[in-house]
Structure 1
Amino acid sequence: MNQNKVILIVDDDNRNIFALGLTLRARGYQVVSCTLAKDAIQLLEEGNGISLVLMDMMMPEIDGYEAIRLIRASTVINDIPIIAVTAQAMPGDREKCLASGAKAYISKPIDVDLLLTEIERLTS
């Protein structure tokens, strides 16, 4: 059941967090969020029962690529499923996201059905 799944949304745009949060909560997921990658890493390291991360790739300070690399380098949180979410839809962006350690890639505007399919695939 989805209510046992906690999804961390990491995005520097609160409008994206709000819209994704509404969509996911409406489908029974618990949602936590933050606007900086360093805060996301801290939340993950604290435990918090997070099942999956939706990581915006274009953020200030630490971008999504570096954040994913840091998560994958950790001995504590390196196995958390991460979906790269980005407005970048240029050739090679998907491959770059996956090479950084993301398990899936979704471009904005988000196809909700595709997002839900990937979440279920990665958290089952």
Structure 2
Amino acid sequence: MATDKKTVLIVDDEQSNIFALSAVLIPRGFTCTAALNGEQCLNILSERTAFDIILMDIMMPFMDGIETIQMIRELPQYKNTKIIVITADDNPALRLRSMAVGANGFLNKPIDVDKLVALF
């Protein structure tokens, strides 16, 4: 049923990563929207009332994922939206910092799709 579709915002400066994530999520019934950086992400969020989950890269130009997560958590309509960090950096300190600013999960690239979908 269309109303059961989960909406996903993929925030990543690499279009190939957006394509790859969309390619595995869409066949599983997810609706995907993309942003190439934190500024684009915030613009999209200001125009929509809700996403079910946000997949956030950390290393991006203009505004990194940490700063973007902090700003998202200031938006009342997105205070409880799941934000999953997806990054190639497996530094434990980055994981802790991501969670401290409001991320709900942390996955390393390349993504294990089953682990990702389980976070939904």
- Tell me the TM-score normalized by structure 2: 0.91
Aligned equivalents of 2:115, 2:26: Cα separation in 1: 16
Which sections of structure 1, spanning at least 5 residues, go unmatched?
120-124
Aligned equivalents of 1:22, 1:73: Cα separation in 2: 31
State the match for 2:116 in structure 1: 115
Which sections of structure 2, spanning at least 5 residues, go unmatched?
none
Aligned equivalents of 2:49, 2:15: Cα separation in 1: 21
Aligned residues: 119
Give the letter aligned to residue 54 of structure 2: V
1:45–1:76 Cα contact (<8 Å) kept: no
C-alpha change, 1:74 and 1:48, in structure 2 (3 Å) is: closer
1:4–1:30 Cα contact (<8 Å) kept: yes
2:69–2:101 Cα contact (<8 Å) kept: yes
State the match for 2:42 in structure 1: 41
Give the letter aligned to residue 93 of structure 1: L
1:15-30 mapped onto 2 (5 Å cutoff): 15-30=16-31
The structure 1 segments of at least 4 consecutive aligned residues displaced by more than 4 Å after TM superposition are none
Aligned equivalents of 2:8, 2:72: Cα separation in 1: 16
> Percent identity, aligned pairs only?
38
Aligned equivalents of 1:48, 1:21: Cα separation in 2: 21
